[in-house]
Structure 1
């Protein structure tokens, strides 16, 4: 009888010893950091909501995009595509290519686009911007040759 009790106790100890341990704080912190990286990236779909004009690196004018046209930009891990809906020609403005961003700078290198954009791309494929990025908003800011801000396109995340 004692040997059966001893075997039962050993089996119970093994069962409880093999039970899943709760996740450590390190695992939770790594997951939270990974989530923050994903939400604070360009990957996703964005809609142009407005523009800023600058003078001496200060916003001097801003206006909404909703009365002019509609523009959407989509970023994957390495590709970018944008399209603009114009009431006069629904297929005229789009571009496709690759991008990278780091340390407050965004570079887009377009491979092809609409008829008008292909003319622009023939002259210059690479577009460089200053980038101000938050979780659900970004501004791509055009700079002059001296590094001064000229204007920005302002986007909000829609997906």
Structure 2
């Protein structure tokens, strides 16, 4: 009986040490999912100004199976903003390659239609940070996970 209780105790101990709550087994957060823009950051040297999205403004991004799609709704603007393409990430960067976009986006897009941004990714939020030629942050878009 003592051996059986000892075996049960050892099994419980090993299961709890290696279960899904163990930090060693938790996987890194994934950008896959649906996200909503909640604010912008503007960087000026050591100062950061956070500006919340205005009432009624919605920007949604979806990342699935290497594809990205986003849309923006601005209540007082009839101009359409949307895009579709592919994406890739590293632990610190997000690269989007747009293949299709609204006319308004095409007017301001760069020639390559590729954007590489610094990525700050947490399980329920992420920021895509635009930098200057020296790697200094200029501004960011900050998102919360919807799913």
Question: How high is the TM-score relative to the length of structure 1?
Answer: 0.73
Structure with higher Rg: it is 1
For 1:108, the equivalent position in structure 2 comes to 96
Alignment of 1:28-107 (within 5 A): 29=18, 36-37=26-27, 40-56=29-45, 58-67=46-55, 69-87=57-75, 88-89=77-78, 92-107=80-95
Name the SS for the 2:123 alignment partner.
Answer: coil
For 2:4, the equivalent position in structure 1 comes to none
Q: Distance in 2 between matches of 1:29 and 1:92?
A: 49
Question: How high is the TM-score relative to the length of structure 2?
Answer: 0.78
Q: Distance in 2 between matches of 1:95 and 1:59?
A: 31
In structure 1, list runs of 5 or more residues that go unmatched.
1-21
For 2:7, the equivalent position in structure 1 comes to none
Alignment RMSD, CA only? 2.7
Q: Distance in 2 between matches of 1:62 and 1:68?
A: 18
Name the SS for the 1:37 alignment partner.
Answer: coil
Aligned length: 135
Higher helix proportion = 1
- Give 1:31 shift: 5.9
For 1:126, the equivalent position in structure 2 comes to 114
In structure 2, list runs of 5 or more residues that go unmatched.
1-10
